[in-house]
């Protein structure tokens, strides 16, 4: 397959502090590569260097083909692909730099508060990005590893999805070879855990876990190891809802609309799960309700302040 100069990046054009990718400029890692901070044409970028640098033949052709598709994608809810170097030994993807790290880091390594309205905006943004990916032509793009580590945050507090696509690269990655599955088991649907194929429905299932994580600010299945999670998720496949519904309990304070969305995502059978476009419609309704509640609270506070001022005013 011939190189496409529209997205092919010369590795020599990427600059790193210290001259090379190292622990000094490493900013993270994913399921199939390490991420370093670099500069490309003067702008800060995230540079993901693949674990598997030995691709050749069909594997390398598949990588180039997938990069060609993914580099055309443009949506406010997904991290921008700037291009890739597809020349071994520097198989690298160059991405928009999101300077506040991952949503996982924000939720579990900071104590910065956020409102239900902010939570719902994040949830809608992620859902909008997934609707876009699942509607891609000529075929839907299935994420295969949707979780809070793969949702990034920028300096304005906006969230974007990353690490989507590249299914063949993920499948051949070091992590997949070690665990026997692509993706993160804490977010995996029952059919994926049993060795089934990823699909739009398995992405929806993972999204339900993200919503639970946003509502609880807890790590899903944090007290269990991978083997225990697999046992729980495969012990009762005839139940209408997967084991997540029993083990990942929603707080009583969660808006009722979220309960409906999450349970719709956690159906045991993939064909019974909601589609992202329906999830987005339900989230918009939850958002409208939250806006109305916030307006009522502001009005009540304003009325209380006015009454207090009138009561404390001196008599003339």
Out of 10, 62, 99, 145, pick the active-site residue.
145
The token duo for 161 is: 């999805």
Q: Taking a C-beta distance cutoff of 8 angstroms, is the pair 279, 264 a contact?
A: yes
Task: Give 304: exposed, middle or buried? Use CB within 10 Å, 0-12, 13-18, 19+.
Answer: exposed
DSSP codes of every residue in 93-126? EEEE--TT-BHHHHHHH------HHHHHHHHHHH
- Terminal alpha carbon distance of the chain: 89
Task: Give 6: exposed, middle or buried? Use CB within 10 Å, 0-12, 13-18, 19+.
Answer: exposed
Q: Tally Cβ neighbours within 10 Å of residue 34.
A: 16
Q: Helices 256-265 and 200-216 sit at what angle, rounded to 10 degrees? A: 150
Annotated binding residue at 277? no
The token duo for 261 is: 């969305």
Task: Give 271: exposed, middle or buried? Use CB within 10 Å, 0-12, 13-18, 19+.
Answer: exposed
Active site residue 156: no
Coil, strand or helix: which one is 290?
A: helix
Q: Which residues are annotated as a binding site?
A: 49
Binding residues for ATP: 49
Residues acting as catalytic residues? 145
């Amino acid at each position: 397959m011939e190189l496409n100069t529209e997205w092919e990046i010369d590795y020599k054009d990427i600059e790193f502090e210290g001259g090379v990718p190292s622990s000094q400029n490493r900013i993270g890692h994913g399921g199939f590569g390490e991420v370093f901070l670099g500069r490309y044409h003067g702008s800060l970028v995230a540079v993901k260097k693949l674990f598997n640098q030995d691709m050749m033949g069909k594997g390398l052709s598949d990588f180039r083909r997938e990069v060609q598709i993914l580099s055309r994608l443009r949506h406010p809810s997904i991290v921008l692909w700037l291009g890739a170097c597809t020349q071994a030994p520097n198989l690298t993807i160059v991405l928009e730099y999101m300077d506040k790290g991952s949503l996982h880091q924000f939720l579990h390594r900071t104590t910065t508060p956020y409102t239900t309205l902010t939570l719902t905006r994040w949830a809608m943004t992620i859902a909008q990005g997934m609707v876009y990916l699942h509607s891609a032509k000529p075929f839907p793009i299935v994420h295969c590893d949707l979780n809070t580590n793969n949702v990034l945050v920028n300096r304005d507090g906006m969230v974007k999805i990353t690490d989507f696509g590249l299914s063949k690269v993920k499948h051949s990655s070091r992590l997949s070879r070690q665990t026997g599955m692509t993706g993160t088991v804490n977010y995996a649907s029952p059919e994926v855990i049993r060795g089934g194929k990823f699909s739009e429905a398995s992405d929806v299932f993972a999204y339900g876990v993200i919503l639970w994580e946003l509502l609880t600010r807890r790590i899903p299945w944090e007290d269990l190891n991978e083997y225990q999670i697999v046992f729980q998720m495969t012990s009762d496949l005839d139940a209408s809802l997967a084991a997540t519904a029993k083990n990942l309990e929603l707080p009583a304070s969660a808006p009722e609309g979220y309960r409906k969305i999450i349970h719709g995502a956690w159906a045991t059978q993939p064909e019974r799960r909601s589609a992202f476009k329906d999830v987005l419609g339900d989230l918009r309704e939850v958002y409208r309700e939250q806006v109305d509640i916030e307006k009522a609270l502001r009005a009540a506070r304003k009325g209380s302040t006015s009454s207090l001022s009138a009561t404390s005013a001196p008599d003339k």
